[in-house]
Chain A
Amino acid sequence: MSLSSCNEATIDLDPIGNTEASFFQNEAQMTEAVFGTYAKLSYFYKRGGSGGDNLQSIWLLPSDDLTTPGETSTEIFSTLQGTDGKLSRYFNFSYQIISRANIVMEKIIQNGSFAYDAASNADDHHRGEALFLRSLMYFNLWNIYGTAPLVTKRITSLDDAFPGNSTGTQLLDQAIIDLTEAVTLLPAAWNVQNLGRANKNSARGLLSKCLVFRGTVNNTNADFTAAITTVNAMTGMALAPNFNDNFDGLKENNVESLFEFQANRSIANTNPWVGGNDDFAVIGELNGFWGFFNNQGTDGGNNTFRATSSIKNAFEVGDPRIDFSFNMAVDAANGHNVRKYVLNNVTTPDNPWLGLSQNNPRILRYADVLLLKAEAIVRSGGNLSEAIGLVNDIRTRARASKVGATVPANLAIPGTSAQALNLIFNERRLELAFEEGHRWYDLRRRHLAGEINLTTLNFGALRADFNFREFNIYFPLPEAEVLQSLNLNQNAGY
């Protein structure tokens, strides 16, 4: 034994595994970084602990389409507060995706010169995907919180870690800039092995959506004409032959699909209870979850989400979409009636009582975009018959979804644009019921635009403590985040 055994090698250790410095060195690694960004999407859709911890109640419940007798703040509004666990997690996960997207873009700039083949345009694709995913978060954050901070680059110093509230449509503004660029970067389509990744049409779809939303609240004509141009540029999109194809676990990524969360089945090691971190190498996060529509009392019980009589009455008798969307009667035995996604669900065989699903949530589909285009035409003073023609395309497909169906019949051209808008919003409600918060987001932007008054709307809530007030149009930011930051203020009323 000698003193020479003490040498610096003992303490000059590298970790086992990759570090930031040793990774992002080639295209395969850059692709992994992109997939890591997509992966966090699962946290919005996975079971998330007990069935009641799933986050979809945030965007599905606050509307006149769905209700629940359960205690859910985004259903009854009066109990909304900054300590809301789900709203906190939603905030965290959104910014984690934004951060991952920002890192991907930072690494493309730093390492792009050697990490990609000169001939490859994967760097453009990757940047486009990062911009798309980040924009999706901006769009959601604007719809949920309204004033959540805008973060456009990776935060590496605590000095930059306390951004203030965003204002107005700042979040949508950034999404529009980013998506405009993403359209130029993304591939027109992916090969079959890569189906499900964002492509040009995905970006165009989300871009037109952001434009119509911004146009609605700011009353800016240019946004509507830009939206029309964007939708017109889409290629290869069509409505699926059957309405129900959009909720069928065996018909994912179909011709109507613009973007979906790619739910899958965990292998061997399902752990759907693990909360909000990727620390544990379990693959439970790959699952989706629809248990809030149909689970038994073990998980959700009577607190399942139910279609309101308002949405039931909105449908014409005989509309084939009814049977694919809900039962007219509440299922007496199980206390539920919604059928979308669960009618042709594909659940995973891992502990069936958990209700883990492989059925992809369709985040953005062509029918939504067509109706947005119709709306943009009307709002920009365009041809009403062109607009109603688009609505009729939707209705035609609905009829085609069931042999012998005659309703919904094609609409006649209304006399005024206000009437046309009402027809379009009604169609949006029927076509997009119980999906992705479409109804709530539509109600919300129209209220912000002064077109409707949500404080007098019948939400169809089952509970007596339902109380929607003007300020509930913005949900509360996480209290912990507000308390910690000198710059971030809580939304008024909370």
Chain B
Amino acid sequence: MLTNNQIIMMRKILLFLFCIALAWSAKAQQRNVTGKVTDAADGSGLPGVSVLVKGTSNGTVSDSDGNYSIDAPAQAVITFSFIGFRTQEIALGERAIIDVSMTADITQLSEVVVIGYGEREKKDLTGSISTLNAKELNNEIRMTPELAMQGKMAGVFVSNPGSDPNARPIIRIRGVSTLGFNDPLYVIDGVPITEGGAGSAVGRDQDLRGPVNIMNMINPNDIESISVLKDASATAIYGVRASNGVILIQTKRGKEGKARINFSSNYGIQNIKKRYDVLNTQEYVNLYNEAWNNNTVAGRALSDWGTLYDPNSPEYLGNSPTYNWMDNATVKNASIQDYNLSVSGGTQKSTYALGGGYASQQNAVFKSQFSRYSFFINSDHQVTNWLKLGESFRLIYSQTEADGGPGIANASLINPWQPLFDPSQPNGYALPRGTVKGVSNSRGFGNSTRDNFLAIDPLVYDQRGMLRNLGSAYAEVTPLKGLRVRGTLSVDYYTNTKESFSLPEAGLYNAQAGTLNANGSSYGRRQSENFNIVKEFLIGYNKSFGDHKIDIVLNAMDQKYNWNNIDQSVNNTGILSFDQRRMVEGILPADKNLFVERNRSGLLGYMARVSYNYNSKYYLDATIRRDGSSKFAPGYKWGTFPAVGAAWRVSGENFMSGTTNWLDDLKIRLGWGKSGNQETRDFAYLSLLNNNPKYAVGSNGGTPGTIVNGAILGDFPVVDMSWETVTTQNIGFDALFLNSKLSFTMEYYHRFTEGILQGIEIPRVIGALNNPVVNLASVVNNGIEMQIGFNEKIGELGIHANANFTTVKNRVTKLYRNQPQGGRIEVGYPINYIFGYQMGGIFQNQAEIDQWRLTNSSPGTETQLSPGDIFFNDLNGPALPEDGPDAYLNRNPDGVTNGFDQTYLGKTIPGFFWGMGVNLDYKGFDFGLTFRGLGDVQRVNGVRWSGESMGNGGVNALSSVSGRWTSENPSNTMPRAISGDPSQNARFSNRWVEDASFFRLQNAQLGYNLNTNSKVLQKMGATNLRVFTSLSNVFVISPYTGLDPEDDSTPITLMFGLNLGF
């Protein structure tokens, strides 16, 4: 049944089509012009080129050989336009034959995009894919490619990781679709990257895995392109691993021609300039004395550390100077450097590329550093006209050193009287030990005495070395034109070796031990070995029948993954330096410790993709993939992931010929598909035996007992868990306007995640150690994405601008047994929303307290309730019979403030994020700015939580506590200072939640390219030379009151670089 509206709409469309048809037939007095359109690159005829008499709707398209014929009046101007080529306008003059040679417009639609198991021209895409090419990547100098992606791609969120070079970046594609493992799948030159323990939420697995940043193994200089597959019609080819999106990285390969040599060199410095404003020693002492005075029960005299704050005690520290730890806890001018050399070239039959590089980065926070040696080689060989062979191989050795340090929060809130330096000590460093209440105490500066990290640094070593081999080889046979049969073998093998060494003296500077380490000098070596082998077999066929093109891909994959951990450690080695570290056989058995653990997983996948394209106007892609995974129980192993994508090039239709003077291309895309997620703890469906518990029996009259093995079942397995699936729907359009100067893409996406794999909290009465993994929840993410690009040349000035904008709305729609989970996950709310108490206000006088007590109580936190304390809102109570059998709480105040009253305080998934870039070039100069930001997001300010709590732990406070409640200066926002916080004013509440939206100038860059004709270059025999400088994190504007809304350690980075080509 059609509604009235639909009928009216249809009439309008018919009328429109009729008008176009009329225009088409209306031909004036004209003569015939013919010619051939060819591709300038190879001289071949170009079919489908739109040929139009300018200013009219009179046009045609070239035939399959590129020939055309059109009637045009004299003096006419004819435009030739074709997707991916520069539009040309030619005045007809007296000619009757006009042959046109068209040049490709590389930056636009003919750009080849890697789509997984193949590539495709941008104009022919049906799925939602964002791309970055080498040029865009190298425009900014960053150590790792993910930072180059920042702010550049709609729907792709890349967080600022701070200054730690080893930190894993947070990359989220179109929101947060699951609870545990949210990282996208990385595929490097066709090899899917897997990591041991990736999906495990068990802390120990994470610890064993170590801080591996996948992106760290790729030198951005080696990258040809990055494609991000966002919707299921694009990702479904990766099936069960693809629900978080797929990032395809293609590295550079050789091209036919003479050897091309490229050298690049970057050097920069990073600094953290911002500081928290904290109290000096005297203000700090005053604050704590006030806090003790306010406590009617536990005053200074009862405190372990009270004498340090007592002006009448000989142990008083209040006259000490104020020491600044932040300047020592940050590294000034932390260096960042990167050098690369690569060569590529080839003949018609064989091409090659190889290169090497060295990079290093110091953390601007004390103290860690990263260095990387990388090497790659690849080649392709057309052995016979039907056989092609090739390989690619990367070898990366990276080394990281982490020497600890207090970090920014601790260094900011250190009690201000603890010194780092003491000239009277032989090494010049101050001990944390001191005299407290007449006794020597390892925490001599109070409860929050910190380790002297500067003294410990040379005594403790923690190094990781990772050697990674990533290689693949293929053989491709072409028995018939259009048919290819390809086998690929890929291996990713890496060992991550952690070495730790500690000298006993380190214990002296440890604020808890304060004595020599009892284990003597100790040495540990832990090796995490990952072995991933992928076998793939592919059959591809493509053929054109007139205007019909079809492309079929069939693929079978077998992936085996092994993860081994070997850990050995010894104590009392007597070794005096890291350089001499070893484990000799003679070490006493009691000083030796070792374990070897193995784990494995496997994946099978079968995939078929059929792509059809009619005349570059109508596209249809259909994919189906079937995956089997070892992660699930028999009967639940296999999953099927179908997807369909369709596109319609509206601008290719005849009725659109009237718009060709302003609209170059318009394509509407539609997609639907499913993909999966398998990442969770291995064998979570099984009840595994845990052999860790030990007991001792036989202790008798001073003879110690014998330690015996215990065995327990710590799991509560849920067998029927299986794939988590994401169903994506996508509708969007791509448009090019004004001679392709302006491009615009807009999409609407809807991602529905079903059966999220997640460990759930279970009642403790079960007695399990591990939470079971179940298909816990369903989540919807939806939103729009927009991407705009603009390129213009005004005289010598080139302008390139782009902007993207993404919105994300995230809602949990269903939960296992409808049971809210800590963290916090609840139906109707976004994943991991911020959950806590809501501050009601501050009691200003006793009368208000008395009034409150008439109807309220707060068990456990009322003993010293006084003016200046916070009252929290009583919102809910325990479920009552009328709430029904499934209710967990009653949404009416019950007069008791307790756990039931915790509520929604904010969300951690940004409601929108955006990026914007402007690049200008003039003659040899170029200048670029990149902005990015996000909004509609909240964040817990942990430093302020500690720094305004006033009473816990003796840490220093932020200067903002001068606004605290006192009887002279009553505040409505900040409570009084009271030691021990008996009313729990500092409990987790909306006091600590802040708006974390921001606007950041991420990067500013100035470069100069020497003209190819320059004499300097010619003298050097070089083909190009570029020098540039950039500044990152130039400024950020945010209501967030911490140092940075993303990460306090975000440094300002100044870089200089040089690229030289021969």
Interface residues of A (CB under 8 A from B): 1-3, 5-13, 15-23, 29, 32-33, 35-40, 69, 71, 73, 76, 78-83, 88, 91-92, 95-100, 102-103, 149, 151, 155-156, 158, 161-163, 190, 192-197, 249-254, 262-265, 267-269, 277-281, 283, 285-286, 296-298, 301-303, 333-335, 349-353, 358, 360, 462-465, 467, 476, 478-486, 489-490, 493-494
Tell me if B767 and A97 are in contact (CB < 8 A). Answer: yes
Tell me if B711 and A23 are in contact (CB < 8 A). Answer: yes
Top-9 shortest CB links A-B: A99-B767, A81-B860, A36-B710, A39-B693, A301-B304, A264-B696, A20-B687, A250-B702, A10-B602
Q: Which residue of chain A has its CB nearest to the CB of B605? A: A6
Can you show 22 pairs from A to B with CB atoms below 8 A apart? A9-B602, A12-B634, A16-B597, A16-B599, A18-B691, A19-B686, A19-B687, A35-B710, A36-B711, A79-B860, A80-B859, A81-B861, A82-B859, A192-B698, A196-B698, A262-B699, A269-B569, A269-B593, A280-B692, A302-B303, A486-B887, A493-B859
Which residues of the partner chain B approach A279 to less than 8 Å between Cβ atoms?
202-204, 690, 692, 714, 769-770
Complex interface residues of chain B between 696 and 720 (CB less than 8 A to chain A): 696-702, 704-714, 716
Stretch at the interface among B552-560, B782-790, B805-813, B1013-1021: B552-560
Which residues of the partner chain B approach A298 to less than 8 Å between Cβ atoms?
441-443, 512, 514
CB distance from A221 to the nearest CB of B (A): 34
CB distance from B309 to the nearest CB of A (A): 14
Which residues of the partner chain B approach A301 to less than 8 Å between Cβ atoms?
304, 441
Tell me if B298 and A158 are in contact (CB < 8 A). Answer: no
Tell me if A15 and B683 are in contact (CB < 8 A). Answer: yes
Which residues of the partner chain A approach B862 to less than 8 Å between Cβ atoms?
78
Tell me if B763 and A100 are in contact (CB < 8 A). Answer: no
CB distance from B125 to the nearest CB of A (A): 29
Tell me if A286 and B707 are in contact (CB < 8 A). Answer: yes
Tell me if B592 and A268 are in contact (CB < 8 A). Answer: yes
Which residues of the partner chain A approach B713 to less than 8 Å between Cβ atoms?
20, 100, 103
Tell me if B537 and A16 are in contact (CB < 8 A). Answer: no
CB distance from A362 to the nearest CB of B (A): 12
Q: A265-B704, A278-B690, A280-B204 are in contact. Are A303 and B695 (CB under 8 A)?
A: no
Q: Which residue of chain A has its CB nearest to the CB of B632? A: A11
Q: A10-B602, A268-B593, A297-B436 are in contact. Are A283 and B697 (CB under 8 A)?
A: no
Q: Could you tell me the distance between the alpha carbons of A267 and B30 in the complex, rounded to whole angstroms?
A: 100
B2 within 8 A of A: no
Which residues of the partner chain A approach B595 to less than 8 Å between Cβ atoms?
281
Range of interface residues on B (Cβ < 8 Å): 35 or more
Complex interface residues of chain B between 825 and 879 (CB less than 8 A to chain A): 859-864, 878-879
Q: Could you tell me the distance between the alpha carbons of A91 and B766 in the complex, rounded to whole angstroms?
A: 11
Tell me if A71 and B980 are in contact (CB < 8 A). Answer: yes
Q: Which residue of chain B has its CB nearest to the CB of A493? A: B859
Tell me if A252 and B767 are in contact (CB < 8 A). Answer: no
Which residues of the partner chain B approach A254 to less than 8 Å between Cβ atoms?
701
Which residues of the partner chain B approach A285 to less than 8 Å between Cβ atoms?
693-694
Which residues of the partner chain A approach B513 to less than 8 Å between Cβ atoms?
351, 353
CB distance from A50 to the nearest CB of B (A): 8
Which residues of the partner chain B approach A463 to less than 8 Å between Cβ atoms?
297-298, 302
Q: Which one of B437, B537, B900 contacts A302 once the chains associate, using CB atoms below 8 Å? A: B437
Tell me if B697 and A195 are in contact (CB < 8 A). Answer: yes
Tell me if A17 and B689 are in contact (CB < 8 A). Answer: yes
CB distance from B385 to the nearest CB of A (A): 22
Complex interface residues of chain B between 431 and 456 (CB less than 8 A to chain A): 436-439, 441-443
Q: Could you tell me the distance between the alpha carbons of A105 and B844 in the complex, rounded to whole angstroms?
A: 60
Q: Could you tell me the distance between the alpha carbons of A10 and B602 in the complex, rounded to whole angstroms?
A: 5
B630 within 8 A of A: yes
Which residues of the partner chain A approach B766 to less than 8 Å between Cβ atoms?
95, 99, 155, 161
Which residues of the partner chain B approach A15 to less than 8 Å between Cβ atoms?
599, 682-683, 686, 688
Tell me if B438 and A333 are in contact (CB < 8 A). Answer: yes
CB distance from A320 to the nearest CB of B (A): 22
Q: A1-B489, A481-B765 are in contact. Are A278 and B692 (CB under 8 A)?
A: yes
Q: Could you tell me the distance between the alpha carbons of A78 and B296 in the complex, rounded to whole angstroms?
A: 14
Q: Which residue of chain A has its CB nearest to the CB of B303? A: A302
Q: Could you tell me the distance between the alpha carbons of A262 and B703 in the complex, rounded to whole angstroms?
A: 12
Complex interface residues of chain B between 959 and 1004 (CB less than 8 A to chain A): 980, 982
* Interface residue SS majority, chain A: loop
Stretch at the interface among B5-13, B515-523, B1044-1052: B515-523
Which residues of the partner chain A approach B882 to less than 8 Å between Cβ atoms?
none
Which residues of the partner chain A approach B628 to less than 8 Å between Cβ atoms?
8, 10-11
Q: Could you tell me the distance between the alpha carbons of A79 and B982 in the complex, rounded to whole angstroms?
A: 8
Tell me if B764 and A479 are in contact (CB < 8 A). Answer: no
Which residues of the partner chain A approach B791 to less than 8 Å between Cβ atoms?
none
Which residues of the partner chain B approach A18 to less than 8 Å between Cβ atoms?
688-689, 691, 711
B126-169 interface bits toward A, Cβ cutoff 8 Å, 1 = contact, 0 = none: 00000000000000000000000000000000000000000000
Tell me if B769 and A32 are in contact (CB < 8 A). Answer: no
Tell me if A486 and B888 are in contact (CB < 8 A). Answer: yes
Tell me if B593 and A20 are in contact (CB < 8 A). Answer: no
Tell me if B441 and A283 are in contact (CB < 8 A). Answer: no
Q: Which one of B593, B682, B768, B888 contacts A483 once the chains associate, using CB atoms below 8 Å? A: B888
Q: Could you tell me the distance between the alpha carbons of A193 and B704 in the complex, rounded to whole angstroms?
A: 11
Which residues of the partner chain B approach A476 to less than 8 Å between Cβ atoms?
859
Which residues of the partner chain A approach B560 to less than 8 Å between Cβ atoms?
10
Tell me if A464 and B297 are in contact (CB < 8 A). Answer: yes
Which residues of the partner chain A approach B704 to less than 8 Å between Cβ atoms?
264-265, 358
CB distance from B842 to the nearest CB of A (A): 21
16 more A-B contacts (CB under 8 A) besides A12-B634, A79-B860?
Answer: A10-B560, A11-B628, A15-B688, A17-B689, A36-B690, A73-B860, A82-B898, A91-B764, A96-B768, A100-B767, A192-B698, A267-B593, A268-B592, A279-B714, A478-B764, A479-B899
B591 within 8 A of A: yes
Give the residue among B697, B700, B761, B770 with the most A Cβ atoms within 10 A.
B697
Complex interface residues of chain B between 78 and 119 (CB less than 8 A to chain A): none
Which residues of the partner chain B approach A251 to less than 8 Å between Cβ atoms?
701-702
Q: Which residue of chain B has its CB nearest to the CB of A254? A: B701
Tell me if B604 and A286 are in contact (CB < 8 A). Answer: no
Which residues of the partner chain B approach A161 to less than 8 Å between Cβ atoms?
762-763, 765-766
CB distance from A43 to the nearest CB of B (A): 10
CB distance from B531 to the nearest CB of A (A): 14
Complex interface residues of chain B between 742 and 770 (CB less than 8 A to chain A): 761-770
Tell me if B859 and A81 are in contact (CB < 8 A). Answer: yes
Q: Which residue of chain A has its CB nearest to the CB of B717? A: A20
Tell me if B764 and A92 are in contact (CB < 8 A). Answer: yes
Q: Could you tell me the distance between the alpha carbons of A277 and B436 in the complex, rounded to whole angstroms?
A: 35
Tell me if A353 and B886 are in contact (CB < 8 A). Answer: no
Q: A15-B683, A20-B686 are in contact. Are A353 and B598 (CB under 8 A)?
A: no
Tell me if B692 and A281 are in contact (CB < 8 A). Answer: yes
Which residues of the partner chain B approach A278 to less than 8 Å between Cβ atoms?
690, 692-693, 712, 714, 769
Which residues of the partner chain B approach A283 to less than 8 Å between Cβ atoms?
694, 707
Which residues of the partner chain A approach B556 to less than 8 Å between Cβ atoms?
3, 6
Tell me if B712 and A36 are in contact (CB < 8 A). Answer: yes
Complex interface residues of chain B between 1032 and 1057 (CB less than 8 A to chain A): none
CB distance from B248 to the nearest CB of A (A): 23
CB distance from A236 to the nearest CB of B (A): 15
Which residues of the partner chain A approach B515 to less than 8 Å between Cβ atoms?
352-353
Which residues of the partner chain A approach B694 to less than 8 Å between Cβ atoms?
35, 39, 283, 285-286
Tell me if A465 and B297 are in contact (CB < 8 A). Answer: yes
Complex interface residues of chain B between 202 and 260 (CB less than 8 A to chain A): 202-204
Q: Which one of A17, A19, A76, A267 contacts B707 once the chains associate, using CB atoms below 8 Å? A: A267
Q: Which residue of chain A has its CB nearest to the CB of B631? A: A11
Q: Which one of A6, A195, A490 contacts B698 once the chains associate, using CB atoms below 8 Å? A: A195
Q: Which one of B569, B571, B603, B688 contacts A11 once the chains associate, using CB atoms below 8 Å? A: B603
Q: Could you tell me the distance between the alpha carbons of A40 and B297 in the complex, rounded to whole angstroms?
A: 37
B286-297 interface bits toward A, Cβ cutoff 8 Å, 1 = contact, 0 = none: 000000000011
Q: Could you tell me the distance between the alpha carbons of A32 and B886 in the complex, rounded to whole angstroms?
A: 41
Q: A35-B709, A269-B569 are in contact. Are A3 and B537 (CB under 8 A)?
A: yes
Complex interface residues of chain B between 885 and 920 (CB less than 8 A to chain A): 885-889, 898-900
